Structure 1
């Protein structure tokens, strides 16, 4: 029934596109895809990233393990997600988006089930391998690809809306995990998250479409006449772009990839350790959960701001602006840890930049390397991020136990954020892609003239 309704809607959208010369209305069928991707992102990104910092506390107590041992679980999760992301584009080509999403439903929810049943530390690691692979198959590459494939002029705000789903995801885990822990049965939290994740991901498998061309549409709901008028729009309509092999030979790819990698330490390192930092300063777990939600709310503002800025001046400048604020925020947090009011206030600057990288780097990949092989290329662009996530989380935990403390750890992270910002500033659009887009525009103009 839902499938029939969706096809009817996109069919009507195709008729409107064919019958009109203009498509100036803001609403296009692509926004339906954005809405569905938003709900999926609540699970694979919101649950996947925000649950660990809160769940780590009761897991550490239940296992009687060292915090660094449990923190290794998130590193394993990040690495599994990162390396699995390398093949997501190829998997979509072989078994389609639906097949990838169904595999994600089984594995991602299965990882949470294992966490709820675990009694040994090695079982935590197994759970995060399974969950990480599941997250990749329904996460970063797909959730970044859909708005970038369905939009050209509005790809920034479309991508930002999808990634804003991390906020409701943080609210859900911020309520479920502390409530279950307070009741004396924290294991119920991963069980509940597993059930929600499975239902959402299965539904997403049947509702999401990878590219508008699959259903006879063009990005932004454009007509061919509109696409032919501008080279970049023509490139999006014709699906031009560098192959993965060609992209790997460009400085454009490497500057984006390096910037994405460095932010892993600078962003996730402190973020996943903030609850321990707050609890260590004498506040309880509920305050830590509220703090994480406050950062996430600031992140929504930052993501939406990054989307607007991207659509105005491009992802390079947007990223540099927002992550300069993150550096300032981290430096302030170093000095106000015992004052909860100032701590929350300082976290806004860090939160505004939090995960804006997902918006900026996906837009940069599509805009500067082309949309045709987005899935195959973005998996490689993304790889450095989870590797550095895996390094950053235990690194901050380890440094916090030395004489440097959390202040020293956060200061080191600020240096990595600054390095990421500089690398992104060096990115330029690939010249070969510019030529492809110009050729696509000429082809479209010829096709329109022939009609």
Structure 2
């Protein structure tokens, strides 16, 4: 059962909205530092130390893969050390990582910093955010998730330009240390004061399985068709999405110029915010599988038109349409899991699903790059992304049998 049932979730006085604020700040800094900021680190570390780009890029890949392993055990950690302790561990690890990025002198320290960042993802990433909001909200869950995950997009829109501006004015080292201090000052008190489970929620009711039960539920998840018809399409769509995002500027620059290509990225990010907010207002009244399929189809359509046009206006509009659904790809999984798998195995399903989709989507930029190199341009590469989105939309609409609870027995 969801502890929030029976309370007025629409009231601004409901404590769950303060938890949403805490989750927004967690997403802002975790995605800002841990995802969008990696392009800044690549440029600044190369400039400061003369390290090859392959060294820094390999450290990023190492971090994402380690994160995909660690998030599997989020439910065990929640049961053993508790929600607030896990978040504080994540905040400490992320703070140590960002401070070390500014202070490092040797390549081994880079890998240590990125390993600490992976621990940060485990304590402050999408699995923890979705699990705690699942416990606090029933009727307004979709809106709560949309608002919280918008912190991730704002992290890219705000934190990255701030880091770049500070690096230019006071140096990369001072910029990272200053940003780390600001993060701790903002996030620490909010986490201590606002985060926690609803008073009448047991750990299992909040979707946290303990010890043996969590491991048992993961085994059952792997044999559950509803789980796979959610995880596989999300993983496939994210693979295509990551491939397009990373190669977007390279594709657009010859067509519309560097400045307009940069504008396209900004428009896409802004539309991701609009998309999350728009969907969040009514997603709780929609079938999440149908809405997910519609989002995937809209991205396929945007890419298809993108390949057929050279008009700057049309290309920018395609990026706007594509961006509208970008953020929602991490909003749909918790909604589908809660409806079809249930609360008891929620954290286990989120952790395992996030791990699988994270590993699969990590290959997106590389696969798009390989197809582009083999074919000579982006036509075949982005056409492949269109096909992947259509296939993903078809799989997510498949409803294998009735609702299957994967609760640990």
Q: Do they fold alike, i.e. is TM over 0.5?
A: yes
1:268 is aligned to 242
How far off is 1:388 after superposition?
A: 1.9
1:216 is aligned to 200
8 Å CA contact 2:207, 2:347 repeated in 1: no
Q: Does the alignment pair 1:148 with 2:134? A: yes
Larger Rg: 1
Q: Does the alignment pair 1:41 with 2:27? A: yes
2:297 to 296, 302, 324: 324
Give, in whole Å, the separation in 2 of the partners of 1:306 and 1:318: 9
In structure 2, the CA distance between the partners of 1:358 and 1:187, relative to structure 1 (3 Å rule), is: same
1:247 to 211, 216, 221: 221
Secondary structure of the 1:370 match is: coil
Give, in whole Å, the separation in 1 of the partners of 2:53 and 2:370: 9
1:382 is aligned to 354
In structure 2, the CA distance between the partners of 1:395 and 1:130, relative to structure 1 (3 Å rule), is: farther
Correspondence 1:304-315 to 2 at 5 A: 304-315=277-288
Secondary structure of the 1:152 match is: coil
Extract unaligned runs of 5+ from structure 1. Answer: 1-12, 219-234, 437-451
Give a deviation string over 1:276-302, Cα, whole Å, max 9, x none. 555677855x76665433222111222
Give, in whole Å, the separation in 2 of the partners of 1:309 and 1:243: 31
Give a deviation string over 1:303-329, Cα, whole Å, max 9, x none. 233334531122101111111111122
How far off is 1:239 after superposition?
A: 9.6
How far off is 1:105 after superposition?
A: 1.2
2:148 to 139, 144, 162: 162
Give, in whole Å, the separation in 1 of the partners of 2:97 and 2:254: 29
Of the structure 1 ranges 417-426 and 56-65, higher mean CA displacement relative to structure 2 is found in 56-65
Extract unaligned runs of 5+ from structure 2. Answer: none
In structure 2, the CA distance between the partners of 1:237 and 1:107, relative to structure 1 (3 Å rule), is: closer
1:6 is aligned to none
What is the aligned residue count?
Answer: 398
8 Å CA contact 2:303, 2:322 repeated in 1: yes
In structure 2, the CA distance between the partners of 1:67 and 1:157, relative to structure 1 (3 Å rule), is: same
Secondary structure of the 1:433 match is: coil
How far off is 1:331 after superposition?
A: 3.2
Give a deviation string over 1:406-438, Cα, whole Å, max 9, x none. 44433333333333222211145753439x9xx
Alignment RMSD, CA only? 3.6
How far off is 1:143 after superposition?
A: 0.8
Give, in whole Å, the separation in 2 of the partners of 1:335 and 1:55: 35
